Chain A
């Protein structure tokens, strides 16, 4: 058991190192930060001096080594774009992204499972057909189109919801939350729906097909034969057996949602990590880009570690390592 956990962590660390190094060697293709950092009046000499001061002339492995040395001390340097500490920038942006990602995951899970169950149980009703058709749109429409469509309907035409930003936020320690104010909650609705829509349709389709599968299985038939009520079969037996693969998929996707909320954040001017990263790429803000990619790698490693742990809890065979009985 312990060996299993240690092995997972070691693998995770190697993945993070590899991601960081690949990212680092890519930066030279993104452009030259000095172009953006100096005004147009800068002389060739000014540019050369700044490049030298920032250590951009050093070979990539040396720059990478320096980055790692600082990264283990949680020092990611000063943002070229904003002149602020990268670690505090990330800490400042993290709550926005986490709130958005967690809420959209919950939204996708609750609605997705609900609709999936409905579409499985009443598979021939016209409503189920409508739901299935709409879910196809969800799978095929790009996120930014959904976002812009929602903005047009609910912000411009109906004026119910704000079109951008987080609204008012409340600080709890260093964490800023939009969950405690009306404008904060209203601001969350459209980004959450936009970000969660694809997951929702995926989960719904998964639940439906799993459920249909389970409903055909022997134990459901036996339960029916015993006279267990249909409702009991559907929700106590069938749904529970459906959940195992659903939780795995949803868990894995949460990492992806946190890491890649970029499009949604850009469309809604959501001040999260994704928007921070997009701006950093355009400016060639190397300290922010490297810290962000490092962070994303960490999120993925952590979520897959957690999924491994859940497997461990679900599947007793993994607990006894190889060799044991």
Chain B
């Protein structure tokens, strides 16, 4: 009996050692944020949480790191074909395998780009300049654009590459058509080359992924997480509680009011940083008369002095300190700091000066001020409604009586996007996925024509500005292009079409054995996670 027992003990001990060695290898990261990805389809929804989850399974030709710097991913090199400014050539990384073992080839790339350009894709906007995508050989792809496009490579970070044969076999060659009666296979299934493979997905409950042991970049990234579990937790208090109770390891969308408390909690780490998103007010600068004001026959916003007065009335540091609890960076330009064209001078906001603002208003013919209506979202940006409430008080100080209407984003953005817009004064936030000023100019300052100006609800339309903006997408001489960008910003900042407030800041909360830096696109790359100590 005795030897048996010893044997059993030895066996248990052996098993225990064995288990511990495995468990140091097997590490689960449980990741929570407020909303779930809408779909796994790589071209279905161009929406933050969707692409943030998608990037762990799918990859693009290029990728940006957490600071926004562009680098190679599935493409090893790229460039404009010498002598043909309308054609880009991409060399595809050899020996990359999809999760089903198939090797990545030019066919998959061509297929994915064509899929992303179809009407049901939500990514066709990134590729509107593309005429065709063709295979040169197994590892070379050429993208032909309608005119010279010096920035095409910036769009490639967003176009995920999927396995052609898999999509064809599963009848998923197009992104979900919402008019169809059937669900697209790619909505809940995925076949990419990314660092994690999909194990299971229950929408709004959890998505489980396992480390891709055959990942092509395994030697250059930590990839210490062996199992990645993504759980959406909608209620702020519950999300924070789940972190405090140890049920999740890493939380995005930390409510600003909880940051201080979490900093004080044991074994917690908070990382913060600026997000690629600027928050600002816009107003109707073009209509002859406003409907929502008390001035007859005139549009006060059309007068630059009024806009400058309002810009001076905003106390940005007070908003940062009180509304945002320090989690923002006040600014004087509607461009996040990572964007090509950003300078410190542009970023400087006018100092708050109520007396001078009043004088400017009087000069413009409104010594008594006027009244107007401000539209604000209440569920889109960090404390968006609070920003508007604070600003209403500040405008009141210079005699502009603002009636605040705050509503859900699905109503708010409709007002801006309607043609003509149904708001004369509004709050909006803007991120720049291409990291180039052209993106801001095209959507926010160009007059509403064709594919440009879709977010320009101000009515601002200047022929010279339009022409300069259009030249940006054709100019391949980079210094010359940058000079045009600088010229545009100088003019537009002086025009004060928008009233910038701040760059939104982000905070992530996690257990202290993790150190996940804030990603400027709010799309944390969890293949980069390495566990410390413990």
Contact = CB atoms under 8 A, between A and B. Distances in A.
B is a partner of A: yes
Contact of A164 (B45, B184, B188, B233): B233
A165 B235 CA distance: 12
Given A151-B241, A155-B245, A35 B38 contact: no
Contact of A156 (B202, B231, B244, B379): B244
Contact of A44 (B39, B188, B454): B454
A207 interface: no
A127 to B, nearest CB: 32
A322 interface: no
A252 B317 CA distance: 54
A42 B187 contact: no
B46 interface: yes
Majority SS at the chain B contact face: loop
A25 interface: no
B183 A83 contact: yes
Contacts of A255: none
B463 interface: no
A37 interface: yes
Which of A43, A271, A276 is the most central at the interface, judged by chain B CB atoms within 10 Å of its CB?
Answer: A43
Given A38-B122, A54-B179, A164-B247, A148 B237 contact: yes
A43 B455 contact: no
Given A77-B181, A83-B39, A156-B241, A284 B410 contact: yes
Contacts of A165: 205-206, 231
A266 interface: yes
Interface in A162-184: 162-166
Contacts of A47: 417, 454
Contact of B39 (A82, A88, A151): A82
A3 to B, nearest CB: 40
Contact of A39 (B123, B178, B411, B414): B123
A267 B203 contact: no
B126 interface: yes
B247 A39 contact: no
B321 interface: no
Contact of A35 (B187, B237, B414): B414
B38 A163 contact: no
Contacts of A39: 45-47, 122-123, 125
A40 B495 CA distance: 24
A222 B410 CA distance: 67
Interface string A71-89: 0000101101111110010
Contact of B455 (A40, A77, A283): A40
Contacts of B244: 156
Contacts of B47: 39
Interface stretch (A14-22, A26-34, A310-318): A26-34
B410 A30 contact: yes
Given A78-B176, A80-B178, A151 B237 contact: yes
Interface string B45-79: 11100000000000000000000000000000000
Contacts of A241: none
A282 B241 contact: no
A325 interface: no
B531 interface: no
A68 to B, nearest CB: 16
A50 B177 CA distance: 10
Contacts of B414: 31-32, 35
Interface string B174-204: 0010111111100110000000000000111
A275 B241 contact: no
A84 B414 CA distance: 25
B235 A267 contact: yes
B215 interface: no
Nearest to A81: B38
A235 interface: no
A122 B204 CA distance: 48
B232 A82 contact: no
Contacts of A217: none
B231 A164 contact: yes
B118 to A, nearest CB: 12
Interface string B235-248: 10111011011110
Given A35-B417, A42-B454, A269 B410 contact: no
A275 B202 CA distance: 14
A136 to B, nearest CB: 24
Most A-side CB within 10 Å, residue of B47, B122, B205: B205
A41 interface: yes
A35 to B, nearest CB: 4
B419 interface: yes
Contacts of B411: 29-32
B183 A269 contact: no
Contacts of B188: 84
Interface stretch (B327-335, B443-451, B503-511): B443-451
A231 interface: no
B300 interface: no
A282 B204 contact: no
A156 B245 contact: yes
Contacts of A75: 181
Given A30-B411, A159-B245, A269-B238, A78 B233 contact: no
Contacts of B443: 40-41
A268 interface: yes
Given A84-B187, A148-B238, A151-B238, A43 B125 contact: yes
Contacts of A282: 379, 408, 410
A253 interface: no
20 contacts: A35-B413, A39-B125, A40-B431, A40-B455, A42-B454, A44-B417, A47-B454, A75-B181, A78-B180, A83-B38, A155-B247, A156-B241, A159-B246, A163-B247, A164-B241, A164-B242, A268-B238, A269-B232, A275-B204, A279-B204
Interface of B: 38-39, 41, 44-47, 119, 122-126, 128, 176, 178-184, 187-188, 202-206, 231-235, 237-239, 241-242, 244-247, 379, 408-411, 413-414, 417, 419, 430-431, 443, 448, 450-451, 454-455
Interface of A: 29-33, 35-47, 49-50, 53-54, 75, 77-78, 80-85, 88, 144, 148, 151-152, 155-156, 159, 162-166, 266-269, 271, 275-276, 278-279, 282-284
Q: A-B pairs with the 10 shortest C-beta distances? A: A31-B410, A39-B46, A41-B125, A83-B176, A31-B411, A32-B414, A43-B451, A35-B413, A155-B245, A83-B187
Given A35-B409, A44-B454, 15 more contacts: A31-B410, A32-B410, A39-B125, A40-B431, A41-B125, A46-B124, A82-B38, A155-B247, A162-B245, A163-B247, A266-B234, A267-B238, A269-B234, A276-B204, A282-B379
